[in-house]
């Protein structure tokens, strides 16, 4: 953490005023929304699909449940959840960014996924839902971009039903030194090049690599979840810790 | 841990390609829609659950809900599932254990049976019917020729070992030897019983 003073936060490696971060993150995602899925596949060599699948396997959703896919972006998880909860269930795709939400809605409707999915533009720090509302909340690759993570986690805790679970899929700290070196080289030298070439935007992908480094590591995030009230918090390292899936319950 | 998502992902892609691409299978698919079928393989620790919906089938490694039907079997039995007539035989012989809605298994089996598993079918949209058929025929012929070749080489090698170099016994020799051993052990048994009878006197 670069700066912990009261009204500044980090945006990648820069230190910016807290009030500005949301807008700067928004600019990043307005810029990449159109090519988001293609870039995900290119950057992760398609492994992000396996990570998301593992998340679904850990979610334990049933028919008729209500699921919130927070920072759901282009709706990969929503599509799957919508089929798993069935017609009696409900999935809410929420994202703070209107461009991402539009791309997600367009994609899901084109796939024929309608009926039990609704779309909400919402800030994770102040979720516009009643208390004890969702059976399961997932936030995949989104927590990193939230300005005040504690506030967001507390807000998720509030809308989660007792017995419900929160799943946080997020980049984390690689556990092996050689892997970490290769990963650093890849994300600082090759990623921005791919970003420049495909999405015509190297800056956004430099931000991506930097924001991953600034994100709390596995144990810190686990502690943050426990601090806002989540119980039985655990995490799984995926692909050597490049990504970690944190899970916490509300009882 | 990461192996299961890979397995379910490839299974899901394969099943969707085979079962959910063809429009003619729609009626058969619709009967399955909204149902869930769990398959517990003896070789796998985790059951795999198929969730059928209108647009595709989802394969899930960890399904918290109670599936509509659970099938317990082993990998070797799976290909036989395509044949609907064998289904009851399989259940009776204990190779297949079904819990819940048996009709679901029958419908799934029907769907698998109706699906075309011809590789030409999948090539045709890309390169046209005639080349696709030609290529798949060529591939099949090549595959058969290769298999014949392997079998022939195998028999040559076996004959060289048993007839030419005589470092391994041939099939007949082995059978003869086994019979000789059996005969020897039988005569030994007879001798033993005779001996014990003599000693008892």
Q: Say what the ipTM of the complex is.
A: 0.75
Residue A181 dihedral angles phi and psi, to the nearest 5°: -65, -50
Q: Identify the pLDDT of residue B177.
A: 94
* Nearest by CB: A83 against B4, B8, B58: B58
Task: Please determine, for residue B112, whether its predicted confidence score (pLDDT) is greater than 90.
Answer: no
Contact yes or no for A84 and B4 at CB 8 A: no
A2 pLDDT band, cuts 50/70/90, is very low
Average pLDDT, chain B: 86
Contact yes or no for A49 and B1 at CB 8 A: no
Residues A226, A25 contacting (CB under 8 angstroms):
no
Contact yes or no for A50 and B9 at CB 8 A: yes
Over residues A194-206, the mean pLDDT reads 79
Instruction: Spell B181-196 as b/e; 16+ CB within 10 A means b.
Output: eeeeeeeeeeeeeeee
From A236-245, B69-78, B80-89, the region with the lowest mean pLDDT? B80-89
Q: Identify the pLDDT of residue A26.
A: 80
Report which DSSP code applies to B55. S
Q: Could you say which residues from 62 to 81 on chain B have a Cβ atom under 8 Å away from some Cβ of chain A?
A: 62, 64-65
Nearest CA in chain B to A240: B2
Task: Please determine, for residue A161, whether its predicted confidence score (pLDDT) is greater than 80.
Answer: yes
What does the pLDDT look like over B41-81, one tens digit per residue?
Answer: 888 888 888 888 888 888 888 888 888 888 888 888 887 87
Contact yes or no for A57 and B4 at CB 8 A: yes
Distances (CA, A) of B140 to A194, B115, B154: 41, 19, 21
Measuring CA to CA, which residue among A212, A203, A209 is closest to residue A32? Answer: A203
Contact yes or no for A49 and B53 at CB 8 A: no
How far apart are the C-alpha atoms of A170 and B73, rounded to whole Å?
37
How far apart are the C-alpha atoms of A209 and A224, rounded to whole Å?
22
Over residues B81-93, the mean pLDDT reads 81
Higher pLDDT, A137 or B24: A137
pTM over 0.80: no
């Amino acid at each position: 953490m670069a700066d912990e003073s009261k009204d500044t936060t980090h945006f990648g490696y820069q230190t910016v005023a807290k009030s500005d971060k949301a807008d700067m993150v928004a600019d990043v995602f307005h810029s990449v929304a159109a090519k988001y899925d293609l870039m995900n596949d290119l950057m992760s060599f398609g492994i992000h699909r396996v990570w998301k699948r593992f998340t679904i396997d850990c979610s334990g959703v049933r028919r008729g449940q209500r699921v919130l896919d927070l920072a759901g972006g282009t709706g990969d998880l929503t599509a799957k959840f919508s089929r798993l909860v069935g017609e009696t269930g409900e999935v809410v795709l929420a994202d703070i960014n209107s461009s991402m939400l539009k791309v997600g809605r367009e994609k899901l409707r084109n796939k024929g996924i309608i009926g039990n999915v609704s779309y909400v533009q919402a800030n994770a720090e102040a979720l516009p839902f009643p208390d004890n509302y969702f059976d399961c909340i997932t936030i995949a690759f989104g927590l990193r971009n939230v300005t005040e993570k504690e506030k967001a986690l507390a807000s998720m805790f509030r809308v989660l039903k007792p017995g419900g679970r929160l799943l946080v899929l997020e980049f984390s700290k690689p556990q092996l030194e050689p892997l970490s070196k290769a990963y650093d080289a890849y994300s600082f030298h090759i990623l921005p090049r791919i970003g420049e070439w495909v999405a015509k935007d190297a800056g956004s992908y430099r931000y991506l690599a930097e924001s991953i480094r600034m994100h709390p590591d596995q144990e810190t995030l686990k502690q943050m979840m426990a601090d806002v009230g989540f119980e039985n918090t655990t995490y799984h390292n995926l692909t050597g810790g490049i990504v970690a899936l944190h899970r916490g319950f509300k009882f | 841990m990461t192996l299961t998502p890979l397995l379910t992902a490839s299974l899901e892609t394969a099943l969707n390609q085979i079962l959910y691409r063809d429009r003619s299978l729609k009626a058969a698919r619709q009967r399955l829609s909204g149902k869930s079928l769990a398959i517990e393989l003896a070789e796998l620790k985790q059951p795999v659950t198929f969730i059928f919906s209108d647009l595709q089938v989802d394969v899930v490694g960890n399904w918290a809900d109670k599936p509509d039907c659970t099938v317990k079997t082993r990998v070797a039995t799976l290909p036989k599932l395509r044949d609907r007539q064998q289904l009851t035989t399989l259940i009776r012989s204990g190779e297949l254990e079904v819990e819940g809605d048996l009709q679901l298994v029958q419908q799934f089996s029907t769907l698998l049976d109706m699906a075309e598993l011809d590789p030409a079918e999948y090539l045709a949209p890309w390169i046209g019917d005639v080349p696709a058929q030609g290529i798949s025929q060529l591939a099949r012929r090549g595959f058969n020729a290769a298999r014949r070749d392997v079998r022939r080489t195998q028999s040559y090698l076996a004959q060289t070992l048993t007839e030419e170099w005589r470092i391994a016994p041939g099939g007949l020799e082995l059978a003869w030897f086994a019979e000789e051993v059996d005969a020897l052990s039988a005569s030994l048994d007879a001798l033993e019983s005779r001996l014990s009878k003599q000693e008892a006197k």
